Amino acid sequence: MDAGYILIDENSSVEKLSKVIAQHGMLQGRGPVNLLNLDDVVQKHHNWRQKLPSVVPFYAVKCNNHPAILQLLVALGCGFDCASQCELQTILGLGVAPEKIIYANPAKTKDSILYARKMGVRRMTFDSVDELGKIAQLYPEAELVLRIRYDAREAVLPLGRKFGCDPDREALPLLRCAKRHQLSVIGVSFHVGCGSRDAECYYWAIRKAIEIFDSASELGMQMHLLDIGGGYPGGNDRIFDDHVHFINKALSEQIVQQRRNIEVIAEPGRYCVESAVTALVNVLAKSYDRNDAGEIVRVRYYLDDGLYDSFDWCDELAIPEVQEHRSSDSSPLVPSVLYGRTMCDNDIIAKEILLPEHEVDDCLVFPNRGAYGMALGRGYNGFSTPLIKICLTRATLDYLCFGPCVYQAAFTRATIVRSCLPTVSLSDAARFSTKATKLDGAGGNESGRKGAGAESSGSGARKAKTSPKVTLIGQDESISIVNLEEATKISNRRNLKLVKVSDLDSKTQRPVYRLMTGAEYLTEELKRREEKKKSKQDAAVKGDKLLTISARIAEHDLTSKIQNVQKWLTKSYEVRVVVTGDGAGSKAKQEDIAQRFETNVKECGKIVQKRARDNDLRFNILPVAAGSAASSANATPGTGTGKQKALLETKGTNNPLAGGGDAQALRGIHYQASGLLA
């Protein structure tokens, strides 16, 4: 069940959002929630293309067929691995070209083969004589891919026991059979197994596949496609680089150095989506197992999710990693069992894991739940499937709204704060303004309508004047001088984005714009965010001063230290002060010293975050400008600025700050006034 979107600020993350929800008990009475992070999918895609540039990903639809994931991968230019007629219909319905689909099921129904023929999906796999006969009768012009068996030494699910022919004994007879039927075999595929931990097996599997290419060549068959299947690790904490090393090594030796003209594709599923979903689950009930002495030996928890929903694919690869909870971090670890919510005795999420003790209504956070659980969840026993909240940043939202995709209407329903939208070009701003006005009109957001109206009137005023001249850089790096209105028309006509590169060119004294595809803009935006993040980190390191003094410091030394701090503050440095304790009475002396600082620097600085830690008293002193900003950012909803109220106020119990929550934890996480999880 989908329930809207959450726009995540670039300074925040889904991980922080899940912590806020868990720590403030925001799931109580709401049922389980899955946070789907589309930016994680984007990062995985870019990581793949960077590390395996010669391997085109054909996403395995069966792994997670959520429409938002599929449309994002369409926009990113992925191919697709479909295993049924229904999956073919879904992907073709998204506008994917038939040549970007492989029907990777060696045991197909006759109706699905006829459907593939009707829609022009030519590539399909086989591993038996009977399948060849079926295809020869129904779709003789199909382009066939021979699936061989090559299991990893260590995999969660070794698929060779079900699919794939023996490469040494069966491959050559099958190729001869295909030749007798006058069928076109264009390549070889394999799948080493789901959740492979044997990275080296890809090297040997590729070598074995190339041997079959050579055998086919001797039969007069010129194969040109190698499909290296799936099995790649999907969690952010699992190493992908080992797989990359052996794949690139094999491709270099067997294809590049041999000067073979072979197209290489893969069928990643888990890799693309596993880390993109975080499951938030409530504790419904708990009980204890005790020994004969009455001591607790195990805690049994009953959770508001289970084997028939988010944890349907709960094999040893998916041992739940409980990330956050409301219990104290210092609580002792206790042997625990996590049961699902249905009445089935096999509805067990995890056995014999060590956890701090939790209470009823605590929220447990399970990362890496994006593979198979959402696709296989079915709401058994009358329970509804988990709520799905789609999380994305401004860059991804903008790309989906304005990029070359057909799912725009759904994404413009995102629950967003309008002021967070990036202004990429006049055309894009106008397009989103129109859509946002319709959304706000339905939701009653007056500020959105006013903003749209003001923007519209501004646009009208601009039309009355001559459009300014700008320098326009085309995709081929050609440079032309046009007016801004014409540049906007060119971008719309070519379905490109008009991105402002520079406010003023030193030579021409004109603004500089560049035409980009949606993918190019998204890549540049990700780079910009990384550079901005790095510059902030560098500035923070450069701008901090640390001062450590003893509670027994002499008066003249303290006066000297205060004067130094005043000088630092006037130069806009942030000062971190540590007052160390030393014997009895230290606490009072530390407070006196803090008071001295506060009195003497009030004209140029402000003390924030004062706290006692061990025997020390610590506090930060911010320059006046920074102090004012921090004060506004940390203000409570009742006393904060108007902008912050718009970001943080919610109705009823939806606001975690209403119960004295942590405003700092929510900074940068925006949600609509109707409630984050409404």
> Torsion angle of alpha carbons 532, 536, 541, 545, nearest 10°?
160
Residue with tokens 């447990």: 364
Q: Are 35 and 14 in contact (CB under 8 A)?
A: yes
**Nearest of 128, 121, 174, 127 to residue 143 by alpha carbon:** 121
How do beta strands 469-473 and 479-483 pair?
antiparallel
Residues across the chain: 678
* 194 included as an active-site residue: no
Q: At what angle do helices 110-119 and 129-138 cross, to 10 degrees?
A: 50
Alpha-carbon distance of 47 to 50, in angstroms, equals 5
Q: Which residues contact 194 (CB under 8 A, 6 or more apart)?
A: 155, 156, 157, 159, 230, 231, 270, 317
Q: Which residues are registered as beta bridge partners of 36? A: 277, 390
The catalytic residue among 177, 272, 344, 401 is 344
Dump the DSSP string for 423-444.
---HHHHHHHHHHHHHHHHHHT
- Which of helix, strand or coil describes residue 497? strand
Q: Which residues are registered as beta bridge partners of 415? A: none
Alpha-carbon distance of 234 to 272, in angstroms, equals 6
Residue 366's alpha-carbon distances to 32, 593, 599, in angstroms, are 11, 45, 48
Q: Are 102 and 227 in contact (CB under 8 A)?
A: yes
Q: Are 56 and 263 in contact (CB under 8 A)?
A: yes
Residue 304's alpha-carbon distances to 242, 308, 311, 381, 419, in angstroms, are 37, 11, 11, 13, 36
Retrieve residue 631's tokens.
């004060």
Residues annotated as part of the active site: 344
